[in-house]
Chains A and B, each alone.
Chain A
């Protein structure tokens, strides 16, 4: 399937530091790419480069299969974006702000304004001036604006900033629905791991300007599971015994002599007894509770801001 968005070796250097260092990512239709990193990791700079607000020092950006530099105008007609805290003309109402957007996007249809306001849960505040909006309402209006012209690619930078828990849940569900029902590709950045892991189909962890890890959804779930780790004398024989004697199929062998069992966790004593009875030495049994958060912290050097 053709990539909607593809970056190759995207780099932004300033005099004294490198804000983004060779980021390569790709996004296909219906995917939700979670761009995760601490504050200042380079997420917004990457998004700004994709949107043409910052010129990359090196690297290439492709939008809808074409070089972004030469096809920006046509590509921007198909992209909805919200970068950081969205700005609005505060003297105008929500509808008037969206009407400006509609005109700038060259859309004739006014009905889409009501539709996008409804999607963002702002229909009741449509005639309220933006200067009276809370931060959360502005975020919602930013999402409504990004959706107004029915984009094929949605780029949302920290979309849940300022939202209450119910609002966060609504926005998360909206993003999931847009990707699954309308087949929209979504690039969503956040510094909050728990928020992004619930919606992303692919997760890119960025740290100090570098994409340090890309994880698919299945892998994501694996990283977030509990298991019992057995250090054994013979792992080949041990896994055979696990399958035959205890019908355990969900396990992994991360390194020689180590087995991680992901099912029947309460039966660790029985597993141990069975192994010992079958002449497998068990040197150590550990309950591992590694979460994605622990994994993220290990990748980012344990700096706790995400």
Chain B
């Protein structure tokens, strides 16, 4: 397994993916800095950063990353060789999932580290321990939720064999997230309930609840872990089946 994983890392050498990872980690922090007035408020700063990252940038970027890792094997016609290695195709699939998780984690860790560093430089106040742990926990949850969505983005790449379906999925995810955020901010009970059942959106409702505590208790919603875990299981099993059973024809 280590060889499969290391081979996946080697494939990323000199790709724009590494720049995208860096960009994805930096951009929310930079946007949040611009949103601050002269005196930086840690709470607002961290909320803005988390929202920029989780509502807009992560869904698009992670779809693109997952798409690249999966789709390039078809685009570069390396799939013929990949599937004749003496490894079970499920092992190859898991290797790809791990590398996507690795990149996702890099984006989240880089972003959080940059945000804290920028805040420390710009703010006169010190970040309280309570606030630090609150946002560390929120970011850890968001990373876990994003990780659970990796098989979904891989599925659209594997089936579509093109970068377009993962990008479209990313755009749809952003729209769902914005719908969820709007529902919470405007207290639209029906929409919050609906979005809490949908992967992507459910994690934003969860994030807002953790960070701002502005999701009223009387609005019925399910914990984000349920839809996210359900799609993880469903799409992972589908990918295993598809990867194992699919035939590789000329030009596929």
Interface string of A29-52 (1 = CB under 8 A from B): 000000000000000100010011
Q: Choose the segment among A73-81, A191-199, A242-250, A273-281 that binds chain B (4+ C-beta atoms closer than 8 Å).
A: A73-81
- Give complex CA distance A196, B247 in Å: 28
Collect the chain A residues with CB atoms within 8 Å of residue B72's CB: 89
Contact assessment for B7 and A73 in the assembled complex, using a CB-CB cutoff below 8 Å: no
Collect the chain B residues with CB atoms within 8 Å of residue A85's CB: 77
- Give complex CA distance A54, B249 in Å: 7
Contact assessment for A48 and B76 in the assembled complex, using a CB-CB cutoff below 8 Å: no
Known pairs A103-B7, A106-B86; A91 contacts B14 (CB<8 A): yes
Contact assessment for B76 and A89 in the assembled complex, using a CB-CB cutoff below 8 Å: yes
Collect the chain A residues with CB atoms within 8 Å of residue B213's CB: none
Interface string of B240-252 (1 = CB under 8 A from A): 0000010111100
A1 within 8 A of B: no
Q: Which residue of A lies closest to B6 (CB)?
A: A103
B88 within 8 A of A: yes
Collect the chain B residues with CB atoms within 8 Å of residue A55's CB: 245, 247
Collect the chain A residues with CB atoms within 8 Å of residue B85's CB: 76, 104-105
Q: Choose the segment among A92-100, A115-123, A159-167 that binds chain B (4+ C-beta atoms closer than 8 Å).
A: A92-100
Collect the chain A residues with CB atoms within 8 Å of residue B13's CB: 91-92, 96
Within 8 A of A (CB), among B1-57: 3-4, 6-7, 10-11, 13-15
Contact assessment for B3 and A87 in the assembled complex, using a CB-CB cutoff below 8 Å: no
Q: Which residue of B lies closest to A83 (CB)?
A: B80
Contact assessment for A53 and B86 in the assembled complex, using a CB-CB cutoff below 8 Å: no
**Which among B11, B15, B248 is the interface contact of A48 at CB below 8 angstroms?**
B248
B83 within 8 A of A: yes
Contact assessment for B76 and A88 in the assembled complex, using a CB-CB cutoff below 8 Å: yes
- Give complex CA distance A103, B3 in Å: 5
**Which among A44, A76, A92 is the interface contact of B84 at CB below 8 angstroms?**
A76
Within 8 A of A (CB), among B61-89: 72, 76-81, 83-88
**Which among B4, B14, B83, B250 is the interface contact of A44 at CB below 8 angstroms?**
B250
Q: Which residue of A lies closest to B84 (CB)?
A: A51
A9 within 8 A of B: no
Q: How many A residues touch B, CB cutoff 8 Å? A: 34
**Which among A44, A77, A84, A96 is the interface contact of B86 at CB below 8 angstroms?**
A77
Collect the chain B residues with CB atoms within 8 Å of residue A104's CB: 3-4, 7, 85, 87
A90 within 8 A of B: yes
A126 within 8 A of B: no
- Give complex CA distance A191, B250 in Å: 16
Collect the chain B residues with CB atoms within 8 Å of residue A76's CB: 84-86
How far is the CB of A70 from the nearest CB of chain B, in Å?
A: 13
Q: Which residue of A lies closest to B17 (CB)?
A: A91
Contact assessment for B80 and A87 in the assembled complex, using a CB-CB cutoff below 8 Å: yes
Most chain B C-beta atoms within 10 Å of own C-beta, residue among A44, A84, A89: A89
Contact assessment for B86 and A89 in the assembled complex, using a CB-CB cutoff below 8 Å: no
Contact assessment for B77 and A100 in the assembled complex, using a CB-CB cutoff below 8 Å: no
Known pairs A44-B250, A91-B15; A53 contacts B83 (CB<8 A): yes
Contact assessment for B86 and A105 in the assembled complex, using a CB-CB cutoff below 8 Å: yes
Contact assessment for A89 and B84 in the assembled complex, using a CB-CB cutoff below 8 Å: no
How far is the CB of B14 from the nearest CB of chain A, in Å?
A: 4
Q: Which residue of B lies closest to A73 (CB)?
A: B86
How far is the CB of A123 from the nearest CB of chain B, in Å?
A: 21
A86 within 8 A of B: yes
A145 within 8 A of B: yes
Contact assessment for B11 and A100 in the assembled complex, using a CB-CB cutoff below 8 Å: yes
- Give complex CA distance A23, B178 in Å: 58
Contact assessment for A48 and B249 in the assembled complex, using a CB-CB cutoff below 8 Å: yes
Collect the chain B residues with CB atoms within 8 Å of residue A103's CB: 3-4, 6-7, 10
Known pairs A88-B78, A145-B81; A74 contacts B14 (CB<8 A): no
Q: Which residue of A lies closest to B10 (CB)?
A: A100
Known pairs A44-B250, A85-B77, A92-B13; A53 contacts B6 (CB<8 A): no
- Give complex CA distance A84, B79 in Å: 12
Contact assessment for B7 and A100 in the assembled complex, using a CB-CB cutoff below 8 Å: yes
Known pairs A53-B247, A54-B247, A54-B249; A84 contacts B80 (CB<8 A): yes
Contact assessment for A89 and B78 in the assembled complex, using a CB-CB cutoff below 8 Å: yes
Collect the chain A residues with CB atoms within 8 Å of residue B84's CB: 51-53, 76, 79, 81, 83
Collect the chain B residues with CB atoms within 8 Å of residue A83's CB: 80-81, 84
| Beyond A44-B250, A73-B88, A88-B78, 7 extra complex contacts between A and B, CB < 8 Å | A48-B248, A84-B250, A86-B80, A92-B11, A101-B81, A103-B4, A106-B86
A-B contact pairs, 9 of them (CB 8 A): A53-B80, A53-B247, A77-B86, A83-B80, A84-B80, A86-B77, A89-B72, A91-B14, A103-B4
Tell me the A residues contacting B by CB distance below 8 Å: 44, 48, 51-55, 72-74, 76-77, 79, 81, 83-92, 96, 99-101, 103-106, 129, 145
In the A-B complex, the 6 residue pairs with the closest CB atoms: A87-B77, A87-B78, A76-B86, A53-B248, A103-B3, A104-B85
